């Protein structure tokens, strides 16, 4: 369904479409809505109903409108429509990177000495089916922003080694401007916090959230870095390019962290188009993550050797500006193991983490 048909289905105006609150308020969360939109759907109702209690669905009309074919061969469809394989829990864990055991206070992940990750919300504009934090989608115990922020700030004040805070979630840009500014201001007020970073998929799934007002707020908290997640060239649209450009014009560098996803971007041709497309909108390809062995994501994982061969092919043809680091994230503070080229050192690293690496086969 194209944008025009979406507007008529939702009885909305073009102005509504450009309003992020409208997009957020009209997220598609029910099977019946999908069936109406797609008319003929490939969804198996029973399986959909089985997946939904574990991993609910929420998709902005904008992101849904990027679907070109109503089936799992479509890169956007696969990233946002629930799949029966999500409840095949073989060889996977809720939290393979053991983030939960590195939380000195609720929702603050401290794995590396000089930086930490603040999970400020569990909300997202669109739930990505491959998300490595999908365990948060139906939180058993909700912690209010005020409660978590107070504890985070107290921990940060007594941790002078931390110089950078990554504000993530969920998606922090699902907050309104006032709440977002409160988070930024509280962190910036800590003297030893030198750099803030926002991790958000908003430019990809709800680019209209990037407004002049938002940019003028973010500008006040520089140095502030922005990491987003484009996974497929079809996600690079006029709207998403405009959102990235507005951030860049406010002096916020925008980088991209893709995830290698089976059937979506695990071919050299698709990945090259994605990387070239990002370069054209001045977004730096920063990381390509090997998909973590997360419960509910088994069907997205590829063999790392396939990823290495693919990246070597791209590496031979492309400028360094287009090349992300292909990495495997491992638990604890060991960090991200680069997989770009199978050097001897990397092979040894893989051997050291064999127990973890084996899960990817
Ligand atoms: S926006 Fe980020 S946190 Fe939210 S579902 Fe997607 S990948 Fe997960």
Q: What is the mean pLDDT of residues 216-233?
A: 98
Q: What is the mean pLDDT of residues 169-192?
A: 97
How do strand 254-260 and strand 284-290 relate by DSSP bridges? parallel
Minimum-distance ligand 1 atom for the alpha carbon of 170: 3
- Find out whether the beta carbon of 133 lies less than 6 Å from any atom of ligand 1: yes
Confidence of residue 245 (pLDDT cuts 50, 70, 90): very high
Active-site hit among 133, 134, 209, 301: 133
pLDDT confidence of residue 139: 64
Please give the CATH number for the structural domain made up of 100-360.
3.20.20.70
pLDDT(356) > 80: no
pLDDT(361) > 50: no
Q: Which residue has 């969360």 as its token pair?
A: 29
Residue ranges of the domains in the chain? 3-87, 100-360
pLDDT confidence of residue 271: 97
Q: Quick one: tokens of 27?
A: 């997220």
pLDDT(359) > 70: no
244 assigned to active site: no
Residues contacting residue 137 through CB under 8 Å, at least 6 positions apart: 55, 56, 122, 124, 127, 131
pLDDT confidence of residue 142: 81
Active-site hit among 27, 63, 74, 111: 111
297 assigned to active site: no
Mean pLDDT (the chain) is 91
Centroid of chain to Cα 326: 16
Nearest C-alpha to atom 6 of ligand 1 is from which residue? 128
pLDDT confidence of residue 352: 63
331-343 per-position pLDDT tens digit: 765 678 888 755 5
Q: Is 202 exposed, middle or buried (0-12, 13-18, 19+ CB in 10 A)?
A: buried
Q: Of 1 and 102, which is predicted with more confidence?
A: 102
- Range in 97-101, 223-227, 350-354 with the lowest mean pLDDT: 350-354
Return d(Cα 292, Cα 141) in angstroms, integer: 25
- Find out whether the beta carbon of 135 lies less than 6 Å from any atom of ligand 1: no
Return d(Cα 75, Cα 234) in angstroms, integer: 8
């Amino acid at each position: 369904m194209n944008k025009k048909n979406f507007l008529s289905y939702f009885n909305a105006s073009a102005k509504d479409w450009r309003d992020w609150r409208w997009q957020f308020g009209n997220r598609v969360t029910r099977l019946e809505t999908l069936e109406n939109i797609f008319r003929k759907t490939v969804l198996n109702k029973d399986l959909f109903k089985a997946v939904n209690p574990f991993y609910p669905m929420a998709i902005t009309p904008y992101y849904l409108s990027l679907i070109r074919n109503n089936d799992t061969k479509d890169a956007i469809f696969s990233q946002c429509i629930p799949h029966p394989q999500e409840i095949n829990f073989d060889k996977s864990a809720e939290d393979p990177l053991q983030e939960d055991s590195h939380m000195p206070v609720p929702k603050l992940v401290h794995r590396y000495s000089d930086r930490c990750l603040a999970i400020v919300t569990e909300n997202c504009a669109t739930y990505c089916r491959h998300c490595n934090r999908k365990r948060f989608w139906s939180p058993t115990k909700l912690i209010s922003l005020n409660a978590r922020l107070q504890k985070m700030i107290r921990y940060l004040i007594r941790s002078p080694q931390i110089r950078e805070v990554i504000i993530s979630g969920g998606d922090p840009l699902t907050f309104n401007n006032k709440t977002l500014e409160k988070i930024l201001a509280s962190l910036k007020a800590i003297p030893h916090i030198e750099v803030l970073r926002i991790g958000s998929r908003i430019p990809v799934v709800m680019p209209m959230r990037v407004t002049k007002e938002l940019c003028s707020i973010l500008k006040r908290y520089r140095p502030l870095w922005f990491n987003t997640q484009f996974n497929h060239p079809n996600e690079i649209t006029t709207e998403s390019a405009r959102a990235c450009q507005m951030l860049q014009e406010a002096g916020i560098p925008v980088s991209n962290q893709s995830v290698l996803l089976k059937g979506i971007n695990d071919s050299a041709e698709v990945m090259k188009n994605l990387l070239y497309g990002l370069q054209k909108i001045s977004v730096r390809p920063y990381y390509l993550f090997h998909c973590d062995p997360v419960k509910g994501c088994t069907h997205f994982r590829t063999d790392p050797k396939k990823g290495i061969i693919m990246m070597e092919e791209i590496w031979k043809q492309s400028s360094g500006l287009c090349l992300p680091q292909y990495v495997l994230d491992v638990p604890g503070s060991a960090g991200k193991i680069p997989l770009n080229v199978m050097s001897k050192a990397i092979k040894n690293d893989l051997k050291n983490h064999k127990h973890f690496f084996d899960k990817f086969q």
